[in-house]
A and B are shown apart, each in its own frame.
Chain A
Amino acid sequence: DSGVTQTPKHLITATGQRVTLRCSPRSGDLSVYWYQQSLDQGLQFLIQYYNGEERAKGNILERFSAQQFPDLHSELNLSSLELGDSALYFCASSPGDRAHEQFFGPGTRLTVL
């Protein structure tokens, strides 16, 4: 158990819908990272927050947004969902702002029908 929790584990929804994925970092970690893993795109870094502020941005679509709250948990919002958004979404956390002490959550599997 990495100490990083993600909810829900599985999510099935329809095209055009909006969903919110939640991540709670390890106790004391200030950074939260979001990743998408799909068959088409492979593993992609989406976005990083550090202590509530956006720190780094990867290949995150405009339909997607994220935030980190004062209690350091993070939410990834996916809107106007398309079939191609079906993927495994991982969250990770680290104590500082670099990824070299990173721990991953179990992931949320999103299926868009």
Chain B
Amino acid sequence: GEDVEQSLFLSVREGDSSVINCTYTDSSSTYLYWYKQEPGAGLQLLTYIFSNMDMKQDQRLTVLLNKKDKHLSLRIADTQTGDSAIYFCAEDYSSASKIIFGSGTRLSIRP
């Protein structure tokens, strides 16, 4: 079935790295996405990875994909207060042409 799972909360100290994890079910997914939603704001597509890649780096963001385990992670280096948000993982459920979202991980930053 279709399922994308994430832990609900993550708390990190400012300046540390944050790692948000996600597991998905559709092994034929073409793209996997990370979205960010700041408090009271809309959604932002943060980054994505194509399914034939293992890793993608974009400034402070690193996405790791383990296709064998169907595990996706988002690492934010040098976490700042502006990174406080809910992060959604999503898979492109290609067999059904739709996008499935996880429940979101709320990242909070401690001083």
Does A98 reach chain B (CB closer than 8 Å)?
yes
- Cα-based distance from A102 to B97 in the complex (angstroms): 16
Interfacial chain A residues near B24, Cβ < 8 Å: none
Are A100 and B31 in contact, CB atoms less than 8 angstroms apart?
yes
Interfacial chain B residues near A105, Cβ < 8 Å: 42
Given A98-B92, A100-B48: A42 in contact with B42 (beta carbons within 8 A): no
Given A45-B98, A56-B98, A57-B98: A99 in contact with B45 (beta carbons within 8 A): yes
Q: Tell which of A2, A55, A104 touches B97, judged by Cβ atoms closer than 8 Å.
A: A55
Are A98 and B31 in contact, CB atoms less than 8 angstroms apart?
yes
Interfacial chain B residues near A42, Cβ < 8 Å: 101, 103-104
- Cα-based distance from A44 to B31 in the complex (angstroms): 17
Interfacial chain B residues near A48, Cβ < 8 Å: 97-98
Min CB distance B80 to A, Å, is 22
Interfacial chain B residues near A25, Cβ < 8 Å: none
Does B12 reach chain A (CB closer than 8 Å)?
no
Mark A residues whose CB is within 8 Å of B.
2, 33, 35, 42-45, 48, 55-58, 90, 92, 98-107
Mark B residues whose CB is within 8 Å of A.
30-31, 33, 42-45, 48, 88, 92, 96-101, 103-104
Q: Assuming A58-B98, A103-B45, what are 12 further A-B pairs, CB within 8 angstroms?
A: A35-B43, A42-B104, A43-B43, A43-B88, A45-B101, A48-B98, A56-B98, A56-B99, A57-B98, A58-B99, A99-B45, A100-B31
Could you show 30 A-B contacts with beta carbons less than 8 Å apart?
A2-B42, A35-B43, A42-B101, A42-B103, A42-B104, A43-B43, A43-B101, A43-B104, A44-B101, A45-B98, A55-B97, A56-B96, A56-B97, A57-B97, A90-B42, A92-B43, A92-B45, A98-B30, A98-B31, A98-B92, A99-B31, A99-B33, A99-B48, A100-B45, A100-B48, A102-B45, A104-B45, A105-B42, A106-B42, A107-B42
